[in-house]
Structure 1
Amino acid sequence: MTWWPLLRGIVARAVVAGPMLGLVVVPARAAPAMAPAAGGAVALAPHRAVYDLTLAAVTGGDTVSASGTMTYGVTDACASWSTQQQLRLQTVSRSGAVTDMESDYATLEAKDGHHLVFRTVQTSNDQSPSRIMGEATMTPSGGEVRYTQPSVHTVPLPAGTLFPMAHTAAIIRAAQDGEQAFSPMLFDGTGDNGAQYTYVMLLGWIQPPSASPYPVLARQPSGRVHVAFYTPASHDMRPDYAIGMRYFANGVSDRLDMDFGDFRMQGTLRSFTPVTAARRC
């Protein structure tokens, strides 16, 4: 699964209206670092996954109830990864007001890390949708994002910025190499102001069998991961939002933990289906 987020990260940013409470503490705002180059290639698995989202804790604020679903799919398009993600979330306030939020996100990411096409559409209580669309390119010296919505503008990307699937692969590679933390830049197309800092904590890497009802996942090594997301221009040591999950070596994730500030939700993998390529590349 990607972040944006993705995980990878992708989910929290799509629905958050305010600052998030972090799951991790970063000792200092340092320059971003790429994942270690050691280790072999990560074999990410095309698949479709559906997650049930349930309220785990309320820590203050106005929200008293929250539930939802998230559907995520990734397919192998030969030279690219195609991803689609849909999030449906309903919250209830102390006054009884119900808010229904939806987020639809899609990307086409070149496997060489040089190009990303992205689209994010968000709605709340059937209001007019907000859209973020465009494409990003990367070279060894840096890159840029060319937005077409919500307005036409260009934002530079620093050297070393990763796109979502590459970010997932970097996390798994670092875990396999025994790293405890690293801090890559991420651009996932869920915001209109360019890349984010991410701080990734790797909480061990366990060899199979892994506890999972799906045999293909039980045969995979796995480990817990926490990812905190920061706005580069901010001097606040608190992350904008943070997520946790268990990653399998093939890029599939379960046991999601999403911190929305005044409440936290858990994501349980309801269904998992491997996806076979429709044609040979």
Structure 2
Amino acid sequence: MKYVLLAAVLALAPVFANAAGPVEGAADMVAHRAAYRLTLDRSRDTAGIQRAEGAMLFEVQDACEAWATRQRFTLVVTDRDGNTVETSSDYSTLESKDGQTLRFSLTQVTEGAVTSRVSGEATQTEAGGRVVFTDPVPNEMRLAPGTLFPMIHTIRALAAARAGQRLLLAPLLDGTTADGPQDTTTVITGGWQAPAENSRFPALAPFGHARMRIAFFEPGQQGGASTPGYEVSLRYWANGVADEMKMDFGEFIVNGQMLELALAPSGGC
């Protein structure tokens, strides 16, 4: 299952001191801290999942030439016999605002034992790039031209929504698997929505938003009758905040509802 968590890595920021200029739309992304409650939406009939509950904390910090992100995720799943499994993960990224460099680290723990570690660094240019893994084993892969990193993918998806597009197809490297990039299909539903009053989170009222569904496929399996390995539906605001999401892990689907939001002040670089 594709559980992702992001850890603070501001100490790596000097790596990007000579980075190229930010991509268009980078200035729209806001540093923030958001807390989510996770609950079971529904379970497939054959899965036998009766309950799922947990929490997620997601943070984005502006490291001037880069974004430092952290997501902490804990989920307890209960089956029809009353057995429970607790999974948590901690996933960190440092992504340059020019979309050319990504550092990532993921640790996943199940029932107190480490079950997965992924870490490494990737670089990308218009001609392609490479990713070098240090965990779980040293390995290197080439990246096809057009491969996106997580924040740049969010920016491109929001730009597509504002432009009235329905689809965004792109390979995505997020560092959550040692298998390298995954093909993604982003479907934008309902079009771009104008700013409106927001009683729960007034800080989001000045921003438009769009709903989208992102499906992740193994390379070469995208489209047709292929079933995605993971799928997430979100409501993304123009500043990069997602306040609602559904995470489809195959056997069951989890709701993520934002409970708290704190926007960081801009500037300081």
TM-score range, shorter chain: 0.7 to 0.9
Give the conservation status (yes or no) of the 8 Å contact 2:99–2:124.
yes
Deviations 1:26-69 (A, max 9, x none): xxxxxxxxxxxxxx635001000000011111222121110010
1:58 counterpart = 2:43: yes
- CA distance 1:195–1:212, change in 2 (3 Å): farther
Amino acid at match of 1:206: Q
Deviations 1:175-220 (A, max 9, x none): 0111011201110000001111110111111101154511120221
Q: Who is 1:73 aligned against?
A: 59
1:46 counterpart = 2:46: no
Q: Who is 1:218 aligned against?
A: 205
Q: Who is 1:4 aligned against?
A: none
Percent of aligned pairs sharing the same letter: 37
Give the conservation status (yes or no) of the 8 Å contact 2:2–2:249.
no
Amino acid at match of 1:214: F
Give the conservation status (yes or no) of the 8 Å contact 2:40–2:52.
yes
Name which of structure 1's ranges 215-224 and 66-75 shifts more when overlaid on structure 2: 215-224
Amino acid at match of 1:181: L
Amino acid at match of 2:261: F
Deviations 1:135-165 (A, max 9, x none): 0000111111100010001011110111000
Aligned residues: 246
Q: Provide the rounded CA distance (Å) in 2 between the counterparts of 1:131 and 1:13.
A: 13
Give the conservation status (yes or no) of the 8 Å contact 1:210–1:222.
no
Q: Provide the rounded CA distance (Å) in 2 between the counterparts of 1:95 and 1:154.
A: 43
Q: Offset at 1:106?
A: 0.5
Q: Higher strand proportion, which one?
A: 2
Q: Provide the rounded CA distance (Å) in 1 between the counterparts of 2:79 and 2:96.
A: 42
Amino acid at match of 2:113: Q
Give the conservation status (yes or no) of the 8 Å contact 2:188–2:210.
yes
Give the conservation status (yes or no) of the 8 Å contact 2:107–2:114.
no
What TM-score, normalized by structure 2, do the two folds share? 0.87
Q: Provide the rounded CA distance (Å) in 2 between the counterparts of 1:114 and 1:263.
A: 35
Q: Provide the rounded CA distance (Å) in 1 between the counterparts of 2:256 and 2:77.
A: 15
Give the conservation status (yes or no) of the 8 Å contact 1:132–1:189.
yes
Q: Provide the rounded CA distance (Å) in 1 between the counterparts of 2:146 and 2:70.
A: 24
Q: Who is 1:151 aligned against?
A: 137
Q: Please state whether the residue corresponding to 2:113 is helix, strand or coil.
A: coil
Counterparts of 1:112-261 in structure 2, within 5 Å, are 112-203=98-189, 204-209=191-196, 211=198, 213-234=200-221, 237-261=226-250
Q: Provide the rounded CA distance (Å) in 2 between the counterparts of 1:103 and 1:178.
A: 35
Q: What value does the CA root-mean-square deviation take over the aligned residues? A: 1.8
Q: Who is 2:254 aligned against?
A: 265
Give the conservation status (yes or no) of the 8 Å contact 1:246–1:255.
yes
Amino acid at match of 1:249: A
Amino acid at match of 1:146: V
Q: Provide the rounded CA distance (Å) in 2 between the counterparts of 1:53 and 1:219.
A: 27
Give the conservation status (yes or no) of the 8 Å contact 2:3–2:89.
yes
Q: Please state whether the residue corresponding to 1:183 is helix, strand or coil.
A: strand
* Structure 2: runs of 5 or more not aligned: 5-23
Q: Provide the rounded CA distance (Å) in 1 between the counterparts of 2:102 and 2:95.
A: 5
- CA distance 1:174–1:86, change in 2 (3 Å): same
Amino acid at match of 2:44: T
Amino acid at match of 1:193: D
Give the conservation status (yes or no) of the 8 Å contact 2:229–2:249.
no
Q: Please state whether the residue corresponding to 1:136 is helix, strand or coil.
A: strand
Divergent runs of 4+, >2 A: 233-236
